Amino acid sequence: MSQTSPKPDLPDFPAEIEADPKQLPYDKEQLLRFFAAMRLARAFEEKLGALYRQGKLLGAAYLGMGQEATSVGCISLLDKGDYFSTVSRNLSAWFYRGVEPGHVLARWFGKDQSPSHGRDLGLFLADLENYGIAPFHNGSMAAWIPTGAGYALSFKMRKQPNIYLAFTGDGATSPGDFYEGLNFASIHKLPLVIIAEMNQFAYSTPPEKQMPVKNIADRAPAFNIYSEIAYGNDLFKVIDASRRGIDHARSGNGPALIELKTFRQRGHGEHDDMSYVPRELREFWENRDPIRMYRRWMIERAEIPALDIERIEEDASHQIERAVEYAEALPYPSPEAVTERLYAPSPHDPRAEDRKNIFEPIENPAVPSLTATKERSTGGHF
Ligand SMILES: Cc1ncc(C[n+]2csc(CCOP(=O)(O)OP(=O)(O)O)c2C)c(N)n1
Ligand SMILES: [Mg+2]
């Protein structure tokens, strides 16, 4: 623990969820569904960290522990046809969508039957059947903002009532791509929603050393867009703020930037011991763990029987055990397949004949081998 860290400026967030369960539009089944996705992500990442330390993973492990409520809250608000991209700390969004833990875990083992078929490691997921886009096309942080603006432009051109939701970290709000993407989206009033997770660090850099403003949302006036700040460890505060942002964008008013204050409970990756994180900051946020707060709220306020919750916790452990067995037993991709699956058509694209009415398809006959993909063998993942 660093002795030289200055005392952190701690916010005024309560250590409990305040919502009145009677005022919420959710039944018991839905409340437990939120919990199941968050709990599964936590169990998954606890295991992933252990596997990393055992030297069993290919590459690093970047965990989103402590940020589970932000992902679940936002993803629960999307309509059919809304696209989204996550960064490395949003696993609970995928589990909320029903993606199998074994399928995701296989990626950290570099296996063929994983979302990327062994093409890259566990960082960024895509699943076109589920409308999920991989954000990291070229390794550049914030590159997903102009891409999201592009998707949002296509929705507007096609008169589709959809939005693009892009998760992003605080550090990723500083590169130029962030500005170009938001500027363009604002000028054209595109349905782009940025969920900016202020988790207090970008690698080891605190916000005050990489942002000239206190909040990410303070950047919004420069783009003339809607913004809000909410407490990211309270699931219902996340949902409230994100819903307003999504409604704004979907109604044709242009982009929204929702900043969620939260905390990265682990280092940037599992190779990072977080020695630069002030003890007070860590304790403050660990006392506001989003899953523990939600669990307590369910029992004490929503009167959900502890037995139902414990059943979900046990099920999460079993799912993770099965996921490890499954992923370890899978084959590696064959070297001959290395040029396959570089591009994949979206299963939700308009049919070719309809597409002609919207824009001319771009075809490049010079590279036919790169556009060819084999039929998918894993129920839609590529
Ligand atoms: C343009 C660019 N600069 C630097 C990097 C290296 N890099 C990858 S992740 C990261 C920090 C990301 O911090 P943040 O956006 O706050 O996300 P968090 O890891 O906290 O979720 C950096 C600097 C990069 N990938 N691209
Ligand atoms: Mg960060």
Q: Tens of pLDDT along 57-94?
A: 988 899 999 999 999 999 999 999 999 999 889 999 99
Read off the pLDDT band of 126 (50, 70, 90): confident
- Sign of the torsion angle spanned by Cα atoms 108, 42, 97, 195: negative
Find the mean pLDDT for residues 314-327: 98
pTM for the predicted model, two decimal places: 0.89
Q: What is the pLDDT of residue 305?
A: 98
Token reading at 172: 């990723």
Two structure tokens written together for 81: 């046809």
Q: What CATH number is given for 29-371 in this structure?
A: 3.40.50.970
Do residues 198 and 259 make contact, with C-beta atoms less than 8 angstroms apart? yes
For residue 197, the ligand 1 atom closest to its alpha carbon is: 21
Q: Calculate how far, in angstroms, residue 169's C-alpha sits from the geometric centre of ligand 2.
A: 5
User: Pick from 240, 227, 306, 228: which is nearest to 19 by CA?
Assistant: 240
Phi and psi dihedrals of 344, rounded to 5?
-140, 135
Instruction: Kindly state the percentage of the chain with pLDDT values over 70.
Output: 86
List, chain by chain if needed, residues with CB within 6 Å of any ligand 1 atom: 87, 89, 139-141, 169-172, 175, 199, 201-203, 264, 268
Residues 148, 115: contact at Cβ < 8 Å? no
What is the spatial distance between Cα 365 and Cα 97, in angstroms, rounded to a whole number? 37
Q: What is the mean pLDDT of residues 107-119?
A: 83
279-310 per-residue burial string, b: 16 or more CB within 10 A, e: under 16: eebbebbeebbbbebbbebbeeebebeeeebe
Q: 45, 108 in Cβ contact below 8 A?
A: no
Give the residue whose CA is nearest to atom 6 of ligand 1.
141
Residues whose beta carbons lie less than 5 angstroms from ion ligand 2? 169-170, 199, 202
Q: How far is the CA of 72 from the centre of ligand 2 (A)?
A: 18
The sheet carrying 192-198 orders its strands as 132-133, 83-85, 164-169, 192-198, 256-261, 226-231
The pLDDT score that the predictor gives to residue 137 is 57
Atom 12 of ligand 1 has which residue's CA nearest to it?
202
Task: Pick the closest to residue 90 from 62, 115, 68, 122 (CA basis).
Answer: 68
